[in-house]
Structure 1
């Protein structure tokens, strides 16, 4: 196994540092606007995209790349807040389907402008469209 070269190490450090800063900026903006955390937005978006069929908790876990216990706690909080509903899964007595509620749709829509503003300020104002597309290609190569 070879040691990563300096350029690889620098790229890794920049990627992690920038990612952390951007996530912190989104989290802070959502919090200051009185909204739930970014993980809630991501879950609501995935459930909204799934439509009325909803998702099994393990499917949501895979889409969010969270550990099982993290997804369970997230769903418990979101159910308690009335943003999602758990329904029994037909044909599987132990299984559940999670669907977004109307309140969940409303919250997700209200969160987006704050999220979008941070993306525009932090990325869109610093990179041209061509540069952003190049960055996307470079990151996709990883």
Structure 2
């Protein structure tokens, strides 16, 4: 198989994408550390729980939404649980599985932190784009996400760490 090297234009676009995403993630992390004492990943876990019915998700579902391994999620949830922002509940049907549930204090932290988070995202990303570019951005990344989710050359769901499931209704 012959390597399909990136053209100069593609290489510039790739490097610009990498630089921008790293800088944006760093700025978001700094804002969330300053305002809430937590990294973006922890904030995302709280946000995912706040959007779930009853503020509660199975750990495997939460790992998939956050696109992280279950062991990394367990570490993060342990820290958030220690801070009183999340509570874990055992599954009645499967002792190996558990749920993460957002506490009232976790919701209060989200409500306090969300305005600064949204302002950071808005000022660093969306204020830099025209309405047409926002539409293009959404179209580009939605298309990429769909392709990556269904690409047959990618690992099967069982091979992707955040998609592995144990058996049982609570996994």
Q: Assess same fold via TM > 0.5.
A: yes
Map of 2:5 onto structure 1: 3
Say which is worse superposed, 33-42 or 111-120, in terms of deviation.
Answer: 33-42
**Shift >4 Å, 4+ stretches:** none
DSSP-derived class of the 2:52 partner: helix
Count of aligned pairs: 142
- For structure 2, the residue ranges without an aligned partner over 5 or more in a row are 145-171
Taking only aligned residues, the RMSD between alpha carbons, in angstroms, comes to 1.5
Say which is worse superposed, 42-51 or 130-139, in terms of deviation.
Answer: 130-139
Provide the TM-score with structure 2 as the length reference: 0.77
Is the Cα–Cα contact under 8 Å of residues 87 and 97 in structure 1 kept in the other structure? yes
Matches within 5 A, 1:66-81: 66-81=68-83
Map of 2:53 onto structure 1: 51
Is the Cα–Cα contact under 8 Å of residues 44 and 100 in structure 1 kept in the other structure? yes
- For structure 1, the residue ranges without an aligned partner over 5 or more in a row are none
Is the Cα–Cα contact under 8 Å of residues 57 and 101 in structure 2 kept in the other structure? yes
> Shift of residue 139 of structure 1?
2.6
> Shift of residue 135 of structure 1?
1.7
Map of 2:14 onto structure 1: 12
Q: How many Å separate the matches in 2 of 1:21 and 1:66? A: 20
> Shift of residue 33 of structure 1?
2.5
Q: How many Å separate the matches in 1 of 2:111 and 2:126? A: 21
Q: How many Å separate the matches in 2 of 1:132 and 1:103? A: 34
Q: Measured at CA, do residues 53 and 124 of structure 1 come closer, stay the same or move farther in structure 2, by a change above 3 Å? A: closer
Map of 2:34 onto structure 1: 32
Q: 1:120 aligns with which of 115, 118, 122?
A: 122
